[in-house]
Amino acid sequence: MLELAPGSPLDEVSLSRQFEISRTPMRDILRQLAGEGYVQLRENKGAIVAPMDAKSMRNFFLTAPMIYAAISRLAAQQATAAQIDKLRETQAQFKQAVSAQSVEQMVFLNDAFHYQIGEMADNPYLTPSLQRLLMEHARIGQTFWQTGRQENQSAIQEACDHHDQFIDIFASHDEEAAVELTLAHWDLSRAKMDEFIRPDPLSLSIDMAG
C-alpha cells in the first residue's frame, strides 16, 4: 500500500509481466484507474501515479470535510447493529496496530474504518467520492501515522479515541454529534497533512544556509 510516490511512472510492460496478463487488459485497467483518479495517462508518455499538484490539493481540502460530514450524518441515521459490530472489530485491530506502532497497518485499518462508515451511509452518489478522498487522504497523510515524535503519538491516540466515540455515536444514531466529531477528526489530521505538504520552513532555511 502507498508504495509508489505521486508522479511515479507506470511501465505497462513491467506491470503486464508482474501480473501475468497481456498488455491489452493492462491498458484497460490503467484506463479504469485513470477514470477513478488513481492514475494519469499522458499521450505518448505513458501512465504515471496521479500527481499531487496545487489544484488537486486545493480541491481535496475544500471537499473532504463536506463529504466526510455528509457520510457520517447518513451513517448515524442508518447504521445497523451488525455494521457497528463490524466497526468495533476493525477498531480493535486498529488499536493493536497503534500499540505495535505499525504505520502500514495503521494507514490500512484507518482507511478500512472510514470505508465501513461509508458502507453504513449506503449512498451511491457519495461512495465514489469517499473512496477517492480516502485514497488521497492516505497518500497525503502518511506523516500523521509516523510514531517517532511525541506530538504524533498524542495525535494518533486522540484519533484512536475519536474512533471509539464514532462507534458510540453511530450506535445512538446521533446525527449532529456525528457531524461535529467528523469535523474535529478532520481538523486533527489536517494539521499533520499540512506538515506533509509544507515542511518546516525553519528546517528548509537551515538546509539552504548550510
Query: What number is the average pLDDT over the span 151-162?
Result: 87
pLDDT value of residue 148: 60
* Cell numbers 528548509: residue: 204
Is the domain of 67 the same as that of 40? Answer: no
Check residue 142 and give its pLDDT. 61
Residue 208 maps to a domain: no
Q: What is the CATH number of the domain that holds 17?
A: 1.10.10.10
State the pLDDT confidence band at 52, using cuts at 50, 70 and 90: low
Judge if 185 and 114 occupy the same domain: yes
Q: Which residue in 37, 10, 13 sits closest to 24, CA to CA?
A: 13
Q: What is the pLDDT of residue 168?
A: 98
The better pLDDT of the pair 36, 168 is held by 168
Euclidean distance between CA atoms 189 and 191, whole angstroms: 5
pLDDT of 209 reads: 44
What's the total number of domains in the chain? Answer: 2
Which range has highest mean pLDDT (29-38, 163-172, 182-191)? 163-172
Q: What is the pLDDT of residues 31-50, one digit of tens each?
A: 887 776 777 788 777 887 77
Together in a domain, 67 and 138: yes
Can you give the pLDDT at residue 204?
38
Counting every residue, how long is the chain? 210
User: Would 206 be classed as within a structural domain?
Assistant: no
Which residues have a Cβ under 8 Å from the Cβ of 160 and sit 6 or more positions away?
94, 95, 98
Angstrom distances, CA of residue 117 to CA of 1, 59, 78, 84: 21, 22, 10, 9
Domain that holds residue 120: 54-197
Question: What nine digits make up the cell of 201?
Answer: 520552513
Across 54-73, average pLDDT:
89
